[in-house]
Amino acid sequence: MNVPYQIGAPGFQDPVAQSQATFRHLMDAIAHPALPRAFTSRTASCGPLSANATAVLLTLVDQDTPLWLDQALASSDEVRNFVAFHCGAPLVTDPSRAAFAFFADAQAMSPLTRFALGEPDYPDRSTTIVAQVDCFSSEGPGFSGPGVSGTRRFGFIPAPADFSSQWALNSAGFPLGLDIFLIGSTELAALPRSLRLTEV
Amino acid sequence: MSDFPSYNFAYLDEQTKRMIRRSILKAIATPGYQVPFASREMPMPYGWGTGGVQVTAAILGRDDVLKVIDQGADDTTNAVSIRKFFEKTSGVRTTTSTPEASIIQTRHRIPEAPLREGQVLVYQVPIPEPLRFLEPRETETRRMHALEDYGVMHVKLYEDISRHGHIATSYAYPVKVAGRYVMDPSPTPKFDNPKMNDCPALQLFGAGREKRIYAVPPYTSVISLDFEDHPFERTKFDNVCALCGSTNTFLDEVVMNDEGARMYVCSDTDYCEQHRGDRKETGA
């Protein structure tokens, strides 16, 4: 492409340690679903992408992972340049081809079914959603499943109005389905497809 | 810090770690399902724990404390060489103490000391597919998992009963994870199977040659397959450990002389040493 190139925001200062630390937070989060845990990256933010979401992008996305961006992110040159320079990930507009989908606004996640849900023989071939949120609450619906001892109440703001029904649909398709990482400014949490709604 | 500055931290390059990390996240989200990954050649032969080593290398950080066991022992060849590998390539602190470790890489045992939340147990797996010896075709076993078609596994256990009068499978005893996938718990003795159920620690499984990663999240049901009239039974030992006197641990049989004298000792060396210390302190 002949577009003049702007590097923009820096990546990790210490790629080995920072990507490992970010990954361990993601791994702990998905192993203990619907449980917000403290996470503050030392990465710079990039346009509409927060510092923490940028760290997750740098940790998981590379040339092997087709990336889908929501309207706010896709329309940001800063984000597109950042992805091209630091990750080299191909951007896709077809959500069903995405390995990762990033949302600047978690409210825009619905409908989840437009993304790749995996195949019966290969449920791992699904999209992983990374969405920025403002905050978490323990007021939301109850969740149970692997990684949850008993039931756990969990909510996030802003959430799509129909998120409960979207999620019920997603977990009903287990082992197919999406996994979601919700990234706040000081916390993150994960909703793996194995997580079931117990009460609304 | 590292004796080999030409290698990246924990040997693997960052792109490889990202690829393995993505597989680990998928594996945790689908408990018991074997996620394919692009296993790398490691500086050790297949069968020596290349899968476990890659998983450990992908999750390991500078603050981690690593313990490596082989059949429960910290001082056998496989355990010593993998521990040295990570000491050299990452410089992380290593230990033989189960409670002190944040990551425990294991070949074929689960430590006797209870694991706690926040710990990660990494298993080295030779054959990840529990149905492989019953159905050699990968396309078929994959379809069987997709359809939750596990009847053949119960036939195998039934044939055990019809031939031996009881389920004779004593290691790599198949389990059902979170009510969905049948999983090979790696060749751990079935004595250890109950420890996998509702375990507070995260359990990750890496098979290097077979290029598969799978996982059991914390607090997940792991049920050993059985029949109502032939329920799963944990291996029982008639002996006590000759060194520490434990009556409830997995014992190794050691032949002492050419007259056939035998000695039984704990396979978990760390537990055995701790327990010997406890006995001395209490004067037992």
Query: In tens digits, what is the pLDDT along chain B, a chain of 284 residues?
Result: 545 567 899 999 999 999 999 999 999 999 999 999 999 999 999 999 999 999 999 999 999 999 999 999 999 999 999 999 999 999 999 999 999 999 999 999 999 999 999 999 999 999 999 999 999 999 999 999 999 999 999 999 999 999 999 999 999 999 999 999 999 999 999 999 999 999 999 999 999 999 999 999 999 999 999 999 999 999 999 999 999 999 999 999 999 999 999 999 999 999 999 999 877 666 54
Q: Which residues of A touch B218 (CB under 8 A)?
A: 31-32, 147, 149
- Residue B34 · residue B129 · CB < 8 Å: yes
- Cβ of A15 within 8 Å of Cβ of B14? The answer is yes
Cis peptide before B174 (omega within 30 of 0): no
Joined tokens for residue A183? 């990234």
Joined tokens for residue B261? 């004298």
Which amino acid type is present at position B267?
S
Joined tokens for residue A69? 């961006």
pLDDT of the residue at B280: 67
CATH number of A15-199: 3.40.50.11310
- CB burial readout B167-178, b (16+ within 10 A) else e: beeeebbbbbbb
Distance CA B136, CA B141 (A): 8
B25: contact with A, CB 8 A cutoff: yes
DSSP state of B5: T
B242-247 CB contacts, 8 Å cutoff, 24+ apart: B243/B272, B243/B276, B244/B271, B244/B272, B244/B273, B244/B275, B244/B276, B244/B279, B245/B275, B245/B279, B245/B284, B246/B112, B246/B271, B246/B272, B246/B275
Distance CA B137, CA A165 (A): 39
- Cβ of B178 within 8 Å of Cβ of A26? The answer is no
Closest-CA distance of chain A to residue B181, Å: 9
Q: Which residues of B touch A27 (CB under 8 A)?
A: 21, 24-25, 28, 59, 202
Beta strands of A37-186 (E only): which ranges? 37-38, 67-69, 100-103, 128-132, 135-144, 152-157, 179-183
pLDDT of the residue at A3: 54
pLDDT of the residue at B273: 94
- Cβ of A120 within 8 Å of Cβ of B147? The answer is yes
Distance CA A91, CA A83 (A): 9
- Is B199 catalytic? The answer is no
Q: Which residues of A touch B220 (CB under 8 A)?
A: 146-147
- Cβ of A21 within 8 Å of Cβ of B218? The answer is no
Nearest to A44 by CA among A95, A1, A8: A8
Distance CA B122, CA B105 (A): 5
Distance CA B248, CA A161 (A): 54
Nearest to A33 by CA among A176, A125, A167: A167
Residues belonging to chain A: 200
pLDDT of the residue at B277: 80
pLDDT tens profile A69-106: 999 999 999 999 999 999 999 999 999 999 999 999 99
Distance CA A11, CA B74 (A): 40
B2: contact with A, CB 8 A cutoff: no
Exposed/middle/buried for residue A56 (C-beta within 10 Å: 0-12, 13-18, 19+): buried
pTM, to two decimals: 0.95
How distant, in Å, are the alpha carbons of A46, A92, A176, B28, B32 from that of B222?
Answer: 43, 39, 20, 14, 9
B36: contact with A, CB 8 A cutoff: yes
Cis peptide before A4 (omega within 30 of 0): no
B213: enclosing H helix or E strand: strand B212-216
pLDDT of the residue at B7: 86
Residues 233-272 of B with CB under 8 A from A: none
Joined tokens for residue A57? 């992008």
- Cβ of B219 within 8 Å of Cβ of A147? The answer is yes
pLDDT tens profile A140-172: 999 999 999 999 999 999 999 999 999 999 999
B179: nearest CA in chain A? A146
Active-site annotation holder among B32, B49, B51, B52: B32
Closest-CA distance of chain B to residue A86, Å: 12
A37: contact with B, CB 8 A cutoff: no
Active-site annotation holder among B47, B91, B272, B277: B272
pLDDT tens profile A1-32: 555 556 678 899 999 999 999 999 999 999 99
DSSP state of A121: S
Exposed/middle/buried for residue A4 (C-beta within 10 Å: 0-12, 13-18, 19+): exposed
pLDDT of the residue at B5: 60
- Residue B135 · residue B129 · CB < 8 Å: no
Q: Which residues of B touch A149 (CB under 8 A)?
A: 218-219
B202: nearest CA in chain A? A31
- Residue B16 · residue B168 · CB < 8 Å: no
- Cβ of B29 within 8 Å of Cβ of A24? The answer is no
pLDDT of the residue at B284: 46
Q: Which residues of A touch B211 (CB under 8 A)?
A: none
pLDDT of the residue at A111: 96
- Residue B94 · residue B85 · CB < 8 Å: no
